[in-house]
Amino acid sequence: MSKQQTNVSATENKQRLEKLFRHLLPLVDGVADKLRFVLIVGALLIVWIGTWLYVIKHFSLTATSSVVTLALLPLLILFRFWWAFEELKDLPDIASQMMGDAKDEFRQSIQDIRGGEVSKLSFLGATKGMWSVRSMLGEASELLGSYISISTLINPFMLVLGVLSLGSFIFLLLASIVLAILAV
């Protein structure tokens, strides 16, 4: 392979990554924000359920701990997704390690995203966003190689668990509302 072909290939890869990151960064930022909100609300709901069981209804500590532990499992899965999305926000640094001068352009993209409006909370949108990120990361994995760990976001089994966890969160929300009504 000649030096000119290598330069053309590197330039082409850089352009592909820039295009991919421009589409990926707003989606990653939005989904990470939604998942962070779900985690905060979910933790508060679990505290409420534990309080309702132990303090208001006088269940045993063992029963309350069991219910709270089971309710925490979906949140732990969602936490893993949130963490993976937060790691993806470091794409400009990763790209700079790979390609050098692309760093400033990607940093500007992130600053533009953070300076813009935050989209409304939508659980369906978060679920759809997780699948969209998966398809884009599948394309990027060949370009990024081993620079980042994106297995959580690409693995279909983990995505199914993530969707089930979002569904469990909705059930947790409904159960907390019913418990609040019964507590009054």
Cα-Cα-Cα-Cα torsion 142, 143, 144, 150, nearest 10 degrees, comes to: -40
Q: Is residue 31 part of a domain?
A: yes
Angle at 14 between CA 23 and CA 4, to 5 degrees: 155
Whole-angstrom Cα distance, residue 13 to residue 18?
A: 9
Q: Is residue 2 part of a domain?
A: no
Domain total of the chain: 1
In terms of residue numbers, what domain contains 143? 13-40+72-183
Q: Which range among 26-30, 86-90, 150-154 shows the weakest confidence by mean pLDDT?
A: 150-154
Is the pLDDT assigned to residue 50 strictly greater than 60?
yes
Whole-angstrom Cα distance, residue 85 to residue 90?
A: 9
Q: Which range among 33-42, 77-86, 113-122, 174-183 shows the weakest confidence by mean pLDDT?
A: 113-122
- pLDDT score recorded for residue 83: 87
Q: Is residue 52 part of a domain?
A: no
Is the pLDDT assigned to residue 29 strictly greater than 90?
no
Average pLDDT of every residue of the chain? 75
- pLDDT, one tens digit per residue, over 72-101 is 999 999 998 888 888 777 766 666 555 554
Whole-angstrom Cα distance, residue 141 to residue 133?
A: 12
Q: Is residue 108 part of a domain?
A: yes
- pLDDT score recorded for residue 58: 93
Q: Are 144 and 98 in contact (CB under 8 A)?
A: yes
Is the pLDDT assigned to residue 48 strictly greater than 90?
yes
Q: Is residue 137 part of a domain?
A: yes
Q: Is residue 109 part of a domain?
A: yes
Torsional sign, CA 131, 135, 136, 140: positive
Q: Are 49 and 68 in contact (CB under 8 A)?
A: yes
Percent of the chain, pLDDT > 70?
59
Q: Is residue 113 part of a domain?
A: yes
Q: Could you tell me the maximum CA-CA distance found in the chain, to the nearest angstrom?
A: 77
Is the pLDDT assigned to residue 120 strictly greater than 70?
no
What's the average model confidence in pLDDT over 107-111?
58
Q: Is residue 134 part of a domain?
A: yes
0.75 cut: is pTM over it?
A: no
